[in-house]
Structure 1
Amino acid sequence: MFNLTKRRAIIVYYNGRRVLRSLHHYGQLRYVSKRFHYAILYVNQDHYDEVKERVQNLRAVKHVLSSARPDLDPTLTDLEETGLYKQHDEDD
């Protein structure tokens, strides 16, 4: 049977595009924004903390953010029931 490896995204904000060459060594570089100077890098969950620390120490990296997707509740269907969002009518 095919097993999926647990992966997590790291959002890397950078100063120069030259750092993108070295990001390939740490994981899969899936998206690069030339205009807003950030890249999305996918790494294995097992090596996540180690890779995040190494990427933060690269020279042209401004800062690194973690993806919030693994922390979200996948069964959340109605935001109004949980109290996170209240629907407003125009009449109110």
Structure 2
Amino acid sequence: MFAERIGYIVWFSDFKAARGLDKYGSLHYLSRKMNYAVLYMDADGSEETVRHLQRLPFVKKVERSYRGEIKTEYEKNVPDKTRFYGL
């Protein structure tokens, strides 16, 4: 139903020019202080888009975001010790 999306972190040197990154995908966040942008795009054709991004003069580095692959379901193996510390 929905296309697979991949996130990329794009490090840039010019904030004004970085606002134009939205034509390469969904621009999620721009950091003015740390000079990076979070960009989401479709998985098919993302390699070609990354190559185009790396050729831009204001782009320093493009990294893949592994946020979608991090385990977010936690299990509690430690017993609850709150009853021992009660008044």
TM-score range, shorter chain: 0.7 to 0.9
34, 37, 40: which one pairs with 2:35?
A: 37
* Cα RMSD after superposing both structures: 1.9
Identical columns (%): 32
For 1:60, the aligned partner's letter is F
Q: Map of 1:45-64 to 2, 5 A cutoff?
A: 45-64=43-62
Specify the alignment match of 1:8 in structure 2: 6
For 1:58, the aligned partner's letter is L
In structure 1, what is the Cα distance between the partners aligned to 2:65 and 2:37? 12
TM-score with structure 2 setting the length:
0.74
The CA deviation at 1:71 is 4.4
Structure 2 residue runs of 5 or longer lacking an equivalent are 78-87
Deviations 1:36-68 (A, max 9, x none): 000001000002101111111100011110011
Structure 1 residue runs of 5 or longer lacking an equivalent are 81-92
